Structure 1
């Protein structure tokens, strides 16, 4: 009897722990979320099953306590053993139809507790998943409204509406992942960052546009000289209207997209690079002519220093090279060839080559 009494006392203590767990389940934030929302989709289906499981848990707990009360009231050891250890509990929801009607299977208290634990685990898993999913979704969605604050544009208004719809989806179906949230977060971040940085980016663009115009102006002056003095085809100075593109951005703000600003930044960057390349190419033609003239003078001085100042052959080669380099327009290719001929002739005489 002592063993049965001890077993009964243990089951009573367990009953108190079960009651505490069921009350905690009722107060779970996931339960409050699901029962208070108009659910749709997968969340509605899973909550229906979980809610049925919660009802079943309370019904089983009532059966469990009723058996313990019967066990506490009996004075018959055999009856106590039957209640605590025997298959004495009928579960109506598990009844099966037989030839003569329906029969509910009989289970032991241990079986009932095992069923309750399994059902409790299933239910609380759904509650925990709902709360965690909802919390994660809120962590993403809640800051978006603040990020869009103060941005008065049609694009921002559309994003606010999308945020509201995503929030409503999160409430109605927290257990179903929302693939649109990540993209929404990225787009809001882009708009917010653009709004914060637009002024500084425009200032940077203004400086670059001014530099483009300055380089182009210098290139234009150099080109006019090159065209007049150097023979050949020379690249035109680029003329893309980057200043107009920048003015267009200013005029459309705040209804501009990141892609709009990035496109103008790219265009200005390309224009500046191209202007510098053309300027360098044009200036290079004049520098090449100066370099050839300097080399010609250097080798003439070398020839004179070695006693070949009156060499007729060298004088003729020098004259030809000088005529090309100081002619207008100057043919740089011909000038290069002429200077090399003179250079080889000087070296042949002065160094025995």
Structure 2
């Protein structure tokens, strides 16, 4: 399915700007762009599935989705709901690639890779991502960019394209929770094409959308399929990289101390300046928590003028509490 969202306006001296863009190769015929997008989407799906399998040993099915044409900002506004935004570059092909990935896929991947959940059992609701989930989204965009780079590099090397100089490695910027405002957008509002691949993981389907300039598509004569590396070829395992991000994350801690019980009537009459004793008569036991999860039992003490706690032991038998911080 393809939709054209661009409406022509007048350029300098009343000249039709869309007609001018067609003349200089910045905008293509809708059917021509549609055909090129279909070819690229079909070339992407199989190697993208293999890339996810190779990188994280997870099964994601990639199916061709919708195609849209229009100005880049219009496409972002229409397609950017409940999605993470990322810019990338393939040297020698395009420096103005943008991608959108639905948040449901990222949330599901974090739960499965970090918490060991079964993808079929997940019931994910789209929401803004946490800091760790945003880090995880980079790995999704990385697979998309590397797969796209392999396709265009192979296409450029074929005899009937004449393309040369495709870079060896795609460059991926840090993903963003929100699409940049127009005044902060470093990329131009060019004529673009948005191609969506629907990623099926477990019982959910999430759109992964690639937005590229129409001028780049017009210059690429064909898209050749490629094959990703087999599992085990990459030393950067997703689960290990995600675990490292969890370990480095800054987490706010809370220390809770049990106080002496009071009748409800006394509690209702408490005033500023009233004193309440600790429940413990000897050493004061403190429970150290984060994200509402009890982590360690501690002893309350003082170093100089600053109160501190000394970790004495785990607060419970759960050894997988790190998975609660995603």
Q: Note whether the superposition's TM-score is higher than 0.5.
A: no
TM-score when scaled to structure 1? 0.21
- Greater C-alpha Rg: 1
TM-score (norm 2): 0.22
Q: Which has the higher contact order (CA 8 A, sep 6+)?
A: 2
